Amino acid sequence: MRNALVRSAIVAATLLGLASCAPQPNAPSPSADGQPRAESDARTSPSPAAVDGSGALLERVLDTGILEIGNPESAATLLIFFNHSCAYCERFTGLHLPRLINDFVRPGKLKLHLIELALRKYPQSELTSTALLCGGMQGKGLPMHQFLVTNEQINLSAVLAHGEELGLDMEKLRLCMENPALRETLKRQASMAESLGVTLVPTFFLNGEKSLGLPDYPDLKGSIEKALREN
């Protein structure tokens, strides 16, 4: 019954638009200290290709503020809650994300849904979340995400400078970064995370199936392949 409710919440949130470290039954392998590889808010014939004519990945910002990457009609959806200051999220972006894109997203089998979970210990979360959405609104959410997660010193000037490097419309970017409506979007995302019991980053929902912490890539790949077979 609980799994059904979680799946329903995922579907509803997608269509419309902080923490313990206890391992879960389906959690990925722990780190050397025995804890899940995730961060809490503690203060101490192939499917259609998911690319455009230039070979760039398709992406768009949904009404919920979710950054969607890949073919919207993909058979599988991987929803990822992360934070740009999370070390495990940086490792996921550097090690696993390129492989996911090559193995599943570009062939049109999987689409990614990205949401930044604001954590109080990372006060720049609102800035980076806003930058991700503003980049996504100009079709550059993925490169903006990669920039944000790999740079420790992030401020508005750094975001604007990188936006210029990406060739974004700078007037639109500045207006977007100052848009108060995006704060309401971020609040809705926080409510969504709370309703799904998300307290750690990274947390994943593969077609509604929840797992937390940095996975080993073979395990993640196997789970996606299984989901595709079952679809």
- Angle separating helix axes 156-165 and 170-177, nearest 10 degrees: 150
Residue span of the structural domain in which 88 resides:
49-230
Tell me if 128 is assigned to some domain: yes
Confidence band (pLDDT; 50, 70, 90) for 120? confident
Tell me if 113 is assigned to some domain: yes
Q: What phi and psi values does residue 9 have, to the nearest 5 degrees?
A: -65, -40
pLDDT digits (tens, 9 = 90+) for 20-38: 333 333 444 455 444 455 6
Confidence band (pLDDT; 50, 70, 90) for 46? very low
- Stretch among 63-67, 170-174, 216-220 having the lowest mean pLDDT: 63-67
Tell me if 38 is assigned to some domain: no
pLDDT digits (tens, 9 = 90+) for 76-110: 999 999 999 999 999 999 999 999 999 999 999 99
Tell me if 175 is assigned to some domain: yes
Tell me if 95 is assigned to some domain: yes
64: CB partners within 8 A, 6+ apart: 13, 14, 16, 17, 185, 188, 189, 192
- Report the number of distinct structural domains present in the chain: 1
Task: Single out the residue of 177, 175, 117 nearest to residue 144, CA to CA.
Answer: 177
Q: Specify the 3-state DSSP secondary structure of 230.
A: helix
Tell me if 176 is assigned to some domain: yes
Distance CA 77, CA 205 (A): 8
Q: What is the pLDDT of residue 56?
A: 74
Tell me if 37 is assigned to some domain: no
Tell me if 9 is assigned to some domain: no
Residue 54 has pLDDT above 80, yes or no: no
Q: What is the pTM of this model?
A: 0.79
- Here the CATH number for the domain that contains residue 85 is 3.40.30.10
CA quadruple 192, 194, 199, 200: dihedral, nearest 10: -10
